[in-house]
Structure 1
């Protein structure tokens, strides 16, 4: 084998080797040795003896489960060791041998933990890859001494919140890239952490934390990224988070790339993005967005690329685009765009803009209205949406002035008539709503009174009508259904009673609810053509004190009125007349009602 002593590269990959060939140790001039995709099970001390000039050793994708101590002792110049996709369960094979090792790949083995002594001798290490293992524990100080480490890959392990304490990354002052995606890290709230895990990584440029277990990260604590002053790229998609604290990015002012895709945000506000004044790329695809208004005035003056595909956006307005002055690319595919005038400006801008590319613009389709669903957005004629702004302003101003003048006139000259008409309409609407529902008569009379007249009702009316005469009355405080709207209780009470007795006083005329009660009763009187309304006046009220709302004399002159006798007068005639009024069936309006004292109406 003397003729091979000058061999510098040897590729023995994709064979069926079960061990390292003995001839390897007789090739001291090797710089690169590739033993990948074989069936090697063990590494002995003799396998790499004499390879003092070896720079790169690739032995991944074998079946290695054991490495003897000092197996790498002669590899004084080794810079790259790729030993992934094997069956290694321990890290303690390096001892003090690999002093110049710069890149170590241990991906896809059976490592379940990282201990303090595992890498302490690898002072020159710059890249450490430990993905696709079963690591759930990282001891504090496990990476101490790796002051030259730039790249650390811990993705696709079983790391939890407790595995990434700040003490784990304490002595990695030059780390630039940290990959923690596809683990089981989660937080219970957005509350600030006592010891943020990344607070010592002041030179970190790239952080990947996406896809944390089946439940996701759930919450981003408000100070999770504290210390990441130099961070430029954050991959935080698919974390099952629905909101962000306004302080989330206050510690990352130099972020260039932010990916929050595949989260279901309930709401986002502009305050969240205000600290990101140099952000250039924002990914918000599949984020459940219905609007992009939170980007307006969000200080994203440097944003170049905006990815918002697969959301529920219906319109893109001019204000939004003007808030992103440096935008050169936007992806709006698979949204629910409306093909109406709300998107007229966007359509014209998409066609005419030379500064911004809308991804697959001519493939964007309409989702609304239904008759245009599936049509191409840019094929629609938006000419009808162009409005003469001057004419519109003139028309709207003229209309506003006219309405204001008319309203002032009505209020000044017809104030009480307007109020009367308002209550009349309100009562009609409620009455019309409820009269379609069949009701049984549960009471003989509904008593409409003001609370200030409740003493008379309870001391005089109730004992006489229910106690002496045996009628069943409906009273507010006793018979209204708790929790039900007051107006519904009023309508139900009136239509469930044969008669309505209105106890009229000055207090009654001032009551809004009494006004509504008498209106509902009036509509029942008019609609059913029955004598169902009884007015009882507790005091004399001059006509000039009655508001136009109560001037119903012409409408109900032929109905029943009673006046409560003056103090000291005999009340027996009053109660006899009231009994007669309650006994009257009043089946038709043409039936001549009993004519009682009409007072001063």
Structure 2
């Protein structure tokens, strides 16, 4: 399969049937000025492995892209896309393995957006304006990695990160102003999962955040000092053995403390380091 590179050409519009190849490995249209793609632009193309539309001026996912079979990676970050114009349909018809739609204008996630995308394993939706995710939004996928940091989430609900296959293993949540968490909000993560979050805004942590998950299977990382603070594996936030380390040096090591207590301790004693180095996270 061949590749077509049309990046950095100030292209504003794609006409109907502008490609004649049935199969392409990669089509790169990055760093143009695309505002409109004709619905028939990819009518001659059956499958593309990788489609790159990042760094353009698109305000919605074009119909031509919706109908296209992108098998491996769809990269449409750094545009001006807000998915609210099509709340009742999936954002694409065929499921890629990786979807990168970061740095857009997305404000909420409907459970319809990823419905039926059974092959979808990675979603990069960081640095948008997401304040609400409907429960079950990722349930129909095969999601393993979810990058949703740098948004506006204030509450995490029990069904927000439910994936029916139980495959979600890496959850990147830091740089969200999360104030509240539901009981069991991490219950659907895969064994030996990793969660990256920060506790700067937390008002409440429930007594059990992973009630259906086997003990010693979730690793928590607090991104609120510098880089990643590693917490010992734990099942719930009930009292137990917790520790936080930085660059191999133990900052805190308690045998009888809650996660909330640990957050408060770290912010009190290492907050100056956090304020200086937060941008490095």
| Category of TM-score, reference length = shorter chain | 0.7 to 0.9
Secondary structure at 2:153 match in 1: coil
In the TM superposition, residue 225 of structure 1 has moved relative to its aligned partner by 4.6
- TM-score normalized by structure 1? 0.37
In the TM superposition, residue 49 of structure 1 has moved relative to its aligned partner by 1.8
State how far apart, in whole Å, the 2-side matches of 1:122 and 1:250 are: 30
State how far apart, in whole Å, the 1-side matches of 2:267 and 2:191 are: 31
Change (3 A) 1:30 1:179: same
Question: Quick check: 1:132 aligned with 2:127?
Answer: yes
Instruction: Number of aligned residue pairs: give it.
Output: 248
State how far apart, in whole Å, the 2-side matches of 1:223 and 1:97 are: 36
Change (3 A) 1:59 1:143: same
Flag the structure with larger Rg: 1
Comparing both chains, which one has the higher relative contact order based on Cα–Cα distances under 8 Å and sequence gaps of 6 or more? 2
Structure 2: tracts of 5 or more residues without a match: 226-232, 259-264, 274-281
Question: Quick check: 1:37 aligned with 2:31?
Answer: yes
Question: Quick check: 1:108 aligned with 2:103?
Answer: yes
Question: Quick check: 1:209 aligned with 2:197?
Answer: yes
Query: In the alignment, which residue of structure 1 is the partner of 2:60?
Result: 66
Change (3 A) 1:88 1:259: farther
Contact 2:218 2:234 (8 Å CA) reproduced: no
Contact 1:150 1:176 (8 Å CA) reproduced: yes
1:234 aligned residue (220, 227, 234): 220
Contact 2:158 2:182 (8 Å CA) reproduced: no
- TM-score normalized by structure 2? 0.74
Question: Quick check: 1:197 aligned with 2:191?
Answer: no
| Larger strand proportion of the pair | 2
2:21 aligned residue (20, 27, 33): 27
Secondary structure at 1:66 match in 2: coil
| Larger helix proportion of the pair | 1
RMSD: 3.6
Query: In the alignment, which residue of structure 2 is the partner of 1:168?
Result: 160
Contact 2:196 2:220 (8 Å CA) reproduced: yes
State how far apart, in whole Å, the 2-side matches of 1:259 and 1:22 are: 57
State how far apart, in whole Å, the 2-side matches of 1:227 and 1:82 are: 34
State how far apart, in whole Å, the 1-side matches of 2:217 and 2:30 are: 36
Secondary structure at 2:162 match in 1: coil
In the TM superposition, residue 14 of structure 1 has moved relative to its aligned partner by 1.9
State how far apart, in whole Å, the 2-side matches of 1:156 and 1:221 are: 23
Query: In the alignment, which residue of structure 1 is the partner of 2:230?
Result: none
Q: Note the alpha carbon deviations across 1:565-601, whole angstroms, 9 max, x for none.
A: xxxxxxxxxxxxxxxxxxxxxxxxxxxxxxxxxxxxx
Contact 1:141 1:170 (8 Å CA) reproduced: yes
Secondary structure at 1:234 match in 2: strand
State how far apart, in whole Å, the 2-side matches of 1:258 and 1:228 are: 20
In the TM superposition, residue 250 of structure 1 has moved relative to its aligned partner by 4.6
Secondary structure at 1:9 match in 2: strand
Secondary structure at 1:270 match in 2: strand
